[in-house]
Structure formats: structure tokens, C-alpha cells
Structure 1
């Protein structure tokens, strides 16, 4: 069923800005993270590696703070309802994917931070300050948090593919205005 874009409920301007900023920073950091291990000639102790890690960690902190801002905003501003014509299972999947995306936006940067702290490496925010070390260095925790960080990044990539697939479905097949609510 075609829904005129002007008649479809939309997200607030603040929700849209936060969404697109988070999307930009997440995609940037996913690309950096996926490429980090593959930079030719970079050892984990080289200045180049440290520079890449500096940007990756700083951007990750931005994602965390923007995700917190999104959650705070969303608590006070309900999202537009899904169309009543949408099957219940699709609405459940949409809500589940969104919930998992929010969870990943919180846990992924925290796991990266914990990985660095456990490895006895300072975590800087764009060189302005270092985040506090909340626990002592621990090799077992470093490996655990590193694994969680990488595995969750891959899961986040899968969730983003699902999310984008749903966007395309609503834009091209359903044409129900759902995807346009965030544009």
C-alpha cells in the first residue's frame, strides 16, 4: 500500500541527526577496524599503527556518547509507529534488530576500551584527555575483551546488512513510507 510521504509519521529532527551521525561514525570505524589488521608493513608497535588505533578508539568513544544521547532522546520521544498493515513478525524483527543495534552501539566501544585498558594501553579521546584505567592490566581480560570487540563488530556488520535490507524492502517493494521517516 502506498503511503504519501507527507502523511507518514516521521522521526524528529534530533532523532534523524543522531541517527545519521551514529551511522557515519559506525561505518567509518567499521572500515577502519576491518582494515587495521591488514595495513601492509604496519606492526602493532609502529607509529602508523598507533595513529590508526588512536582514531579508531576516539571515534568509538564518539559512537558511545552519541548512542547514549540517542537512548536518552528516545526515552522522551517515542518513534513513529510502524504501519498497522505490517505483519506482527516483521514488527517484532524490526524492534529486535533495533534493540540489538542499540546494544551493540553500547557494548562494542566499551569492549574496545576494556581491551585497551587490560592491555595496559592508554585510551585517548582525540588527544584531549585519556580515559581512566578502571582496572589493572590483565592478559586474560585483554584477550577476552578483544574477542568480544571483534566478534561484536562482525555481528554489528550483519545487523547493519539486515537493517539496510529492510530499508531497501520498504523503499522499493513495500513503498509504505517506513524508510522515508528517517530521511
Structure 2
């Protein structure tokens, strides 16, 4: 029976599954955010707008499901250590930003789900599976949840921007290999 010896570079990278979750969620978050901006700018209630709303909800539910799987994967496969050259404050900031991103990839779809329910519109995933109706239509709660969903999205967009900027800084300024850990 042979044993596999992990090299230093192998331990400093995320697993292929973690990379898949990361990049799939990243692409879907950008897509659902963009679709949200486009659909809300369409005046009136058109077939195109309704179709975009459905797609937006489907992608949001998919992000939520992937977030659950991603957290479960992460529990059993910890992230690689930061480079020794990375300042302690940067490590704490990176950890804080990652926690914020995880919270938001749950909070944004959930706020959209509850906003939809408060609006009296059930969420039917892929047009096939109706998600449980956890709250009744509530005209008073609808504008509150709309605002919560909007501002959580803006916070997520900002956090993603900071995350991308930090990754590019590590790649092109620090040249410390932090970005390479997440590249296939």
C-alpha cells in the first residue's frame, strides 16, 4: 500500500471541489446581480420581465444550495494557511471578509425568498418545485424586505469588489501566491 506525500505547494492550495464551489458561486452571483439590475429597470410587467424574475429566483436558490454544500465541504476541508509573509492584520481582515461573504451568500437569497413570499408570489424552482411558503403575503413587510434585499445585494457587491481587489493586490503587488491557491 503506497502513501501519498503532500508537497508544500499542494497543502497551500484549495481542493478542486472548493475551487469549483468558489468559481461557480462567483459566476452565479455576478449573473444574478446583473439580472436583478436589468429586470428591475424594465418598465411595467412584461413577459420578459416575468421570465427574468423567474431566472433571478432560480439562480438565487441555486446559490443558496451551493452555499450550503460549500459550507459543509469547508467544515471538513479547511482553507490553506496564509503565507508567512502576510501581515497579521491582513490575515484577520481576510478572515473577516470571508465570513462576511459567506453570510451574504446565505442572506441575499433568503431575503429575496422572503421578499417574494411577502409579495404573495411563491418561488417555484426551475418552474417545477414550489418552495415552502414560510410566511403569508404581507403588504406591510414587502417594502421592508425589498429594502433589505436591495441593501444586502449592495453590500455583497462591495464585499466582492474588495475581495477581487485584494486578490489582485496579492497577485500583482505582493506576488505571494494567495490568488494561485484558488486558481485551477
Same fold (TM over 0.5): yes
C-alpha offsets along residues 105-160 of structure 1, whole Å, 9 cap, x if unaligned? 00100000000001101211111111121111111211111111100101100001
Paired residue for 2:23? 20
C-alpha offsets along residues 9-42 of structure 1, whole Å, 9 cap, x if unaligned? 1000110001111011001001111222223xx3
1:91 and 2:94 correspond: no
Structure 2 residue runs without a partner (length 5+): 1-7
How much does 1:46 deviate? Answer: 2.3
Distance in 1 separating the partners of 2:103 and 2:96: 10
Q: Whose RCO is larger (CA < 8 A, sep 6+)? A: 1
Paired residue for 1:112? 112
Paired residue for 2:155? 155
Flag the 1:13–1:180 CA change in 2: closer, same or farther, 3 A. Answer: same
TM-score, scaled relative to structure 1: 0.92
1:133 and 2:133 correspond: yes
2:78 is paired with a residue whose SS is coil
Indicate conservation of the 8 Å contact 1:171/1:179, yes or no.
Answer: yes
Report how many residues are paired. Answer: 176
Distance in 1 separating the partners of 2:12 and 2:137: 49
2:122 is paired with a residue whose SS is coil
TM-score, scaled relative to structure 2: 0.92
Paired residue for 2:56? 56
Distance in 2 separating the partners of 1:59 and 1:154: 17
How much does 1:6 deviate? Answer: 4.3
Indicate conservation of the 8 Å contact 1:8/1:177, yes or no.
Answer: no
How much does 1:7 deviate? Answer: 6.7
